[in-house]
A and B are shown apart, each in its own frame.
Chain A
Amino acid sequence: MIQVFAFYLFATIVVASAAMVIFARNPVHSVLWLILAFFNAAGLMVLLSAEFVAMLLVIVYVGAVAVLFLFVVMMLDIDFAQLRAGFVSYFPLGGAIAMVLLVELILGIGAWQAGSLNLAQRTAPLPEATPNIEAIGQLLYTRYIFLFEAAGLILLVAMIGAIVLTHRARGGTRPQNIDKQNRRRPEEAVRNVNQPVGQGVDLGGVEL
């Protein structure tokens, strides 16, 4: 009973927040609604006992992708009123795409009602007793360890490449050198001057 209740709760919030992603006027609010949708989709995955996918959704989509979206939306100066202009002229194309999606939905539901896919032939059946996070870990760190490490190298090469191609040393910047600051002694920084009365202060040669 509690599962059914949880399912309808999560599902309703997913659909509602997905709708709000589209309808929200402020793009920042759209991204926040998207994050809510992701969270509730993760809840649905937990109900299906696919904990790993649930964690991926939260960590990867909410933690990284959505935050990235947020940054991009906030950094780009997009005039949404301008984007929404020309609705009528794009309506035929948009309507056609909507029709295609509708037909696909009907076909999909029809195929689903005709019976589920025959999955008996799949080469890697789900293990019965182990939770799926452990099952993935067992494969990833034993059988596929070589590829796992190599995939790590690919990411490293991508990172090096991005730095090599875009990094440039800029002159004229004044970075903070903490080491130098800490090594500075009062004797170097402070100068006692017997200032004669009635004359201006000469700061020449003093490093500010």
Chain B
Amino acid sequence: METLAVFASVLPEIVLTIAGLILMLVAAYAGDGSARLVSWLSVASLALAAVLLGQLAVHAGGEIFDGLYRADAFAAFAKALIFVAAAVCILVAPRFFDGEGGQRAEYPILILFACIGMAMMVSASDFITLYVGLELNSLAAYVLASFMRRDERSAEAGLKYFVLGALASGILLYGMSLLYGFSGTTNFAGVAQAIGDGLGTGELFGLVFVLSGLAFKISAVPFHMWTPDVYEGAPTPVTAFFASAPKVAALALTTRIAITAFGPGGHSWQQIIIFMALASIVLGAVAAINQPNIKRLLAYSSINNVGFALIGLAAGTAEGVAAVLSYLAIYVVMTIGSFVCVLQMKDKDGRPVETIASLSGLSRTRPGLAAAFAIFMFSLAGIPPLFGFWAKFLVFDAAVAAGLTPLAAIGIAASVIGAFYYLKVIKTIYFDKPAEGFAEERSPIDYGIITLCATVIIIGYFLNPVLGRASAAAAASLF
């Protein structure tokens, strides 16, 4: 391919890099006073990158940089989700940080760099690209988790995330080195070829280690331990970011590796994915029941949702991958919506509160916010008229079509358990004695995002043709 065409394929990443570098200089010279400006420019550059993605997707395809990187419809779909989620997390941050002593200008810049890392992750077709992208994303995420460094919980979250993340990276690297040693290449296609010739013990070990390392990043059981603590301790906009964009990136990455690199060894990775899916769904549902903290509850909810998404991957078919992508898109809307609702929870002094008890009787003090909360919770629980049901339906449908009926049956049973704690939140909001109301703050951006997310959740079925076609096209590029 022509040099220019090669660099045109990574144009979104290049745009984000240049924007990140320039904005970093702006932040360094103008100080934290420029935080608003830097935030808006970051959102603009993310929007530009997303638009370029659409332009590229038309004539994309093919591996570039000697097979290190793939710009295909699958990557474009995941990147679009990542960029939009990241932009929202930048937009909702200023109001939160204003209550905590002012926003610092580095926040949007770190998110931009994390986005570059995530874009590399979803486009990786080589283990080295995967690792470099993953580290770029993770390093930015560690800093973001402890961004409020004077807050003890935030510092704890950052440290925990860092130590466990480093452990996960080590496990992942070990698996990658085993695969490299036994197949002689780090390229996904090359690894697939080596596995296709017969899955040796060394390759199997490598596969298990790589999947374990990735399970850390998507917080699938049994590698989920860090999730509730980190989600609770990190500043809420950062938690919203963790629950959306990096999850999409890591799940898309896992999907691509499972299908393109481990594809021929189907049986061996499928049983790992099936176990992780079931364990995540059940633990995510059961452990969330007694959580008094809404952020912890949403953390378990995200573990639960990752399990459902993995059911689609376990199917291992094009329909399954399309279901995973649709699930991710709908999940991002629901999660972002819920977290922006959580951001509205502030007491009279403007301090953020996180207990579920403080939501009591919200329907009487803030009917609009209560309705939005209820919509997101119903949707996360998978109650039929809402879009969240469709996401679950797609993955179960794919699993049944691939002959995994027992898996789908257990998944459905566990989603009933999961529904319990979502409904408990709604019960607290609508039927409990009103607690002290939250501070009234009018923020057009936050309300706009909540309204938009809620609307998508309600009228989602009209978007089905578009979403279905996009995810099917994206999934087709993996097979």
- Also in contact, A164 and B106, with CB within 8 A (given A123-B184, A150-B120, A153-B113): yes
> Which residue of chain A lies nearest to B185 when distances are taken between CB atoms in the complex?
A123
Chain A: minimal CB distance from B88 (Å)? 21
Q: Residue-by-residue, is A25-37 near B (CB-CB < 8 Å gives 1, otherwise 0)? A: 0000000000000
| CB-defined contacts of B185 to chain A, threshold 8 Å | 123
Q: Are A157 and B132 in contact (CB under 8 A)?
A: no
Instruction: Please report the C-alpha to C-alpha distance between residue A121 and residue B104 in the assembled complex, in whole angstroms.
Output: 53
**Which of B89-97, B136-144, B225-233 contacts its partner?**
B136-144
> Which residue of chain B lies nearest to A143 when distances are taken between CB atoms in the complex?
B66
Q: Are B146 and A160 in contact (CB under 8 A)?
A: no
**Looking at chain B's contact residues, is the secondary structure mostly helix, strand, loop, or mixed?**
helix
User: Which of B129, B143, B149, B158 interacts with A160 by CB under 8 Å?
Assistant: B143
Instruction: Please report the C-alpha to C-alpha distance between residue A2 and residue B132 in the assembled complex, in whole angstroms.
Output: 44
| CB-defined contacts of A121 to chain B, threshold 8 Å | 184
| CB-defined contacts of A165 to chain B, threshold 8 Å | 143, 146, 149, 158
The answer to the question of A22 belonging to the interface, with a C-beta cut-off of 8 Å to chain B, is no
Q: Are B110 and A160 in contact (CB under 8 A)?
A: yes
- Also in contact, A157 and B143, with CB within 8 A (given A146-B69, A147-B128, A150-B136): yes
Q: Ordered nearest first, which 4 A-B pairs have the shortest CB separation?
A: A161-B143, A146-B65, A150-B132, A143-B66
| CB-defined contacts of B158 to chain A, threshold 8 Å | 165
Q: Are B17 and A153 in contact (CB under 8 A)?
A: yes
| CB-defined contacts of B120 to chain A, threshold 8 Å | 150
User: Which of A143, A156, A158, A164 interacts with B65 by CB under 8 Å?
Assistant: A143
| CB-defined contacts of B140 to chain A, threshold 8 Å | 157, 161
Instruction: Please report the C-alpha to C-alpha distance between residue A163 and residue B143 in the assembled complex, in whole angstroms.
Output: 10
Chain A: minimal CB distance from B233 (Å)? 15
Q: Are A160 and B132 in contact (CB under 8 A)?
A: no
Within 141-171 of A, Cβ neighbours of B (below 8 Å) are at 143-147, 149-151, 153-154, 156-158, 160-161, 163-165
Chain A: minimal CB distance from B122 (Å)? 14
The answer to the question of B147 belonging to the interface, with a C-beta cut-off of 8 Å to chain A, is yes
| CB-defined contacts of B184 to chain A, threshold 8 Å | 121, 123
Instruction: Please report the C-alpha to C-alpha distance between residue A123 and residue B186 in the assembled complex, in whole angstroms.
Output: 10
User: Which of B113, B129, B147 interacts with A156 by CB under 8 Å?
Assistant: B113
User: Which of A143, A157, A163 interacts with B136 by CB under 8 Å?
Assistant: A157
| CB-defined contacts of A146 to chain B, threshold 8 Å | 10, 65, 68-69, 129
Name the residue among A150, A153, A161, A164 with the largest chain B CB count within 10 angstroms: A153
Instruction: Please report the C-alpha to C-alpha distance between residue A121 and residue B181 in the assembled complex, in whole angstroms.
Output: 11
Q: Are A147 and B68 in contact (CB under 8 A)?
A: yes
Instruction: Please report the C-alpha to C-alpha distance between residue A150 and residue B20 in the assembled complex, in whole angstroms.
Output: 13
| CB-defined contacts of B113 to chain A, threshold 8 Å | 153, 156-157, 160
Q: Are B129 and A147 in contact (CB under 8 A)?
A: yes
Instruction: Please report the C-alpha to C-alpha distance between residue A193 and residue B328 in the assembled complex, in whole angstroms.
Output: 80
Instruction: Please report the C-alpha to C-alpha distance between residue A133 and residue B133 in the assembled complex, in whole angstroms.
Output: 26
Question: What is the interface of chain B, defined by CB distance below 8 A to chain A?
Answer: 10, 17, 20-21, 24, 65-66, 68-69, 104, 106, 109-110, 113, 116-117, 120, 128-129, 132-133, 135-136, 139-140, 142-143, 146-147, 149, 158, 184-185
Q: Are A144 and B68 in contact (CB under 8 A)?
A: yes
Q: Are A160 and B106 in contact (CB under 8 A)?
A: yes
| CB-defined contacts of B21 to chain A, threshold 8 Å | 156
Name the residue among A144, A146, A149, A154 with the largest chain B CB count within 10 angstroms: A146
Instruction: Please report the C-alpha to C-alpha distance between residue A157 and residue B135 in the assembled complex, in whole angstroms.
Output: 10
> Which residue of chain A lies nearest to B123 when distances are taken between CB atoms in the complex?
A146
Question: What is the interface of chain A, defined by CB distance below 8 A to chain B?
Answer: 121, 123, 143-147, 149-151, 153-154, 156-158, 160-161, 163-165
> Which residue of chain A lies nearest to B65 when distances are taken between CB atoms in the complex?
A146
Q: Are A161 and B139 in contact (CB under 8 A)?
A: yes
Instruction: Please report the C-alpha to C-alpha distance between residue A6 and residue B108 in the assembled complex, in whole angstroms.
Output: 56
Instruction: Please report the C-alpha to C-alpha distance between residue A146 and residue B143 in the assembled complex, in whole angstroms.
Output: 24
Q: A151-B132, A154-B135 are in contact. List 13 more A-B contacts (CB 8 A).
A: A146-B65, A146-B129, A147-B129, A150-B133, A153-B117, A156-B21, A157-B136, A157-B140, A160-B106, A160-B109, A164-B104, A164-B149, A165-B146
| CB-defined contacts of B117 to chain A, threshold 8 Å | 150, 153
Instruction: Please report the C-alpha to C-alpha distance between residue A149 and residue B113 in the assembled complex, in whole angstroms.
Output: 13
| CB-defined contacts of B136 to chain A, threshold 8 Å | 150, 153-154, 157
Chain B: minimal CB distance from A13 (Å)? 34
15 contacts between A and B (CB under 8 A): A123-B184, A123-B185, A145-B65, A146-B129, A147-B129, A149-B17, A150-B117, A151-B132, A153-B20, A153-B117, A154-B139, A156-B21, A161-B139, A164-B104, A164-B149
Chain A: minimal CB distance from B189 (Å)? 14
User: Which of A143, A147, A153, A164 interacts with B143 by CB under 8 Å?
Assistant: A164
Chain B: minimal CB distance from A85 (Å)? 32
Instruction: Please report the C-alpha to C-alpha distance between residue A156 and residue B17 in the assembled complex, in whole angstroms.
Output: 11
User: Which of B109, B110, B132 interacts with A147 by CB under 8 Å?
Assistant: B132
| CB-defined contacts of B147 to chain A, threshold 8 Å | 164
> Which residue of chain A lies nearest to B186 when distances are taken between CB atoms in the complex?
A123
Instruction: Please report the C-alpha to C-alpha distance between residue A123 and residue B181 in the assembled complex, in whole angstroms.
Output: 10
Chain B: minimal CB distance from A71 (Å)? 24
| CB-defined contacts of A144 to chain B, threshold 8 Å | 65, 68, 128
Name the residue among A143, A151, A165 with the largest chain B CB count within 10 angstroms: A165
| CB-defined contacts of B129 to chain A, threshold 8 Å | 146-147
| CB-defined contacts of A157 to chain B, threshold 8 Å | 110, 113, 136, 139-140, 143
> Which residue of chain A lies nearest to B105 when distances are taken between CB atoms in the complex?
A164
Instruction: Please report the C-alpha to C-alpha distance between residue A164 and residue B146 in the assembled complex, in whole angstroms.
Output: 10
Instruction: Please report the C-alpha to C-alpha distance between residue A146 and residue B20 in the assembled complex, in whole angstroms.
Output: 17
Instruction: Please report the C-alpha to C-alpha distance between residue A143 and residue B66 in the assembled complex, in whole angstroms.
Output: 6
| CB-defined contacts of A147 to chain B, threshold 8 Å | 65, 68, 128-129, 132
Chain A: minimal CB distance from B170 (Å)? 16
| CB-defined contacts of B143 to chain A, threshold 8 Å | 157, 160-161, 164-165
> Which residue of chain A lies nearest to B184 when distances are taken between CB atoms in the complex?
A123
